[in-house]
Structure 1
Amino acid sequence: MSPESDNSSPPPEKMFDPTSLDELLELTAFLQADEAARRAFERIGIHGDFTARAFLEDRFFQRAGDRSGILTRKARAEEVMWMARDLMANSAYWGIIKEVIKKGEFAGVDDDLLRDVVTPLEDAITVKYGLINRGYLGAHSLLRAIAMGKIDSLDSPEAWQSVRARKMFVQD
């Protein structure tokens, strides 16, 4: 195919136009004022105060470059526990974890289940709590330890110690 017959346009010079916190606050105020948008957010379970600057600053992320991924921050232990509680409460996810553990401590999740169930659920919960700018959350490892009987429950001191021991991933 010759360049003259190629009707596709070149990629834009800049893929992302950074948003400021002030613009984000304006957007959230607009969405909060819209009844349908507010109900949609309530239905899908978005958690957080999107009218408080500190909350948004904590979750605001930047890209290292225009065509690169986001710069992440370490999660707090509390955030890992939010994720773990929601994952454990999901019967499909918890069933997969228990089934994997039956196969052995180091067994992996079937690729189809990972693609169709585990990853979408983890992604949805990450968005729910505004944790997109967090790196590895480690909830999966914690839940595997509970399923294996190494940790009694998410409420046990051992669960919190397990999360906080991952200094590479957790900030507190």
Structure 2
Amino acid sequence: MLHKCMFSGSGGQGSALMAKMVCLGAIKEDLKVVMTQTYGIEQRGGDSTAYVIVSDEPIGSPIVENDADIAVALSQSIYGNCVEGVVPGGKLFTNSSMVEEPKDADGFEQFFLPVSDTAVELGTVRCANMVMLGAVIAGTGILKMETVEEVINDFLGAKKPKLVGLNIDALRTGYAAVKKESGNE
């Protein structure tokens, strides 16, 4: 098993946090993992991409250029790069609340999910990344859902315990949306 992932968005949308959650989940599941990150000079608002490789064998290179089999586009500004970075047979998860000009998939599957709108309905747009992470887990099986819930509890429980429930609800909402879409409820 080898997955090359690209989690992208505008600064402040939580794409790096999604990647970190995948890394921590992979460690919990005794998988090999490596993460690298790029971001614009702006702290909030500039494009940000975190690259993650998850494998059950040693990872020889941390490079995920234009060969991601799992990609996430949280904003319009980074969407084009994500479309170009997905390999044939891969999956691109797109925030349809923000991406208003979708492109045709060229040999890969696209999931359009209104994660920002869904997050607002749950209480705050700040949990859109967890809605999307749930969708990624459901659509790819890269990690077990229970593992990611444990990671959220461990990671947020120590510093921000009031946010644990909201983020787990967001994760489950994204997961359920993809399962419903694929007919695997």
TM-score range, shorter chain: under 0.3
Could you say which structure has the higher strand fraction? 2
- TM-score scaled to structure 2, two decimals? 0.25
Higher relative contact order (CA 8 A, sep 6+): 1
- TM-score scaled to structure 1, two decimals? 0.26
